[in-house]
Amino acid sequence: MADFGADIELEGFRAEAKAWLDANFPKSLSGKGAVAMSERQGQSPDLATWRKAIGEKGWATPTWPAQYGGGGLSPAQARVLTQEMAKAGAFNPLLFGMGITMIGPTILDYGTEAQKAQHIPPIVRGQVQWCVGYSEPNAGSDLASLQTKAVESADGWVINGQKTWTSGAQYSDWCGLLTRTDPTAKKHDGISFMLVDMHQPGIETRPIALIAGASPFCETFFTDAVAPKDALLGQLNVGWTVGKRLLQHERASQTGAIGGGRQAPLSQLAKRYVEVEANGRIADPDLRTRLVRHEMDARVHSLTLARVMAESKEANGATNGASVLKNSATHVAQTRAELTLEIMGSQGLGWDGEAFSRDEIETVRGWLSGKAMSIYGGSLEIQNNIISKRILGLPDNTQST
User: What positions carry a catalytic annotation?
Assistant: 250
Does residue 74 contact residue 64 with C-beta atoms inside 8 Å?
no
- Contact residues for 305 (Cβ-Cβ < 8 A; gap 6+): 255, 256, 257, 325
Residue of 388, 290, 283 lying closest to 340 (CA atoms): 290
Cα gap 206→190, rounded to integer Å = 28
DSSP run (H or E) holding 107: helix 104-110
Cα gap 79→365, rounded to integer Å = 31
The DSSP output letter for 189 is: S
Which residue type, as a one-letter code, is found at position 96?
F
Label the pairing between strands 174-180 and 130-133: parallel
Buried b (16+ CB within 10 A) or exposed e, 268-307: ebbeebeeeeeeeebeeeebeebbeebeeebeebeebbee
Does residue 129 contact residue 168 with C-beta atoms inside 8 Å?
yes
Buried b (16+ CB within 10 A) or exposed e, 221-258: bbeebbbeeebbbbeeebbbebbebbbbbbbbbbbbbb
Provide the 3-class DSSP secondary structure of residue 370: helix
At 51, phi and psi to the nearest 5? -60, -45
Cα gap 292→263, rounded to integer Å = 15
Does residue 365 contact residue 341 with C-beta atoms inside 8 Å?
no
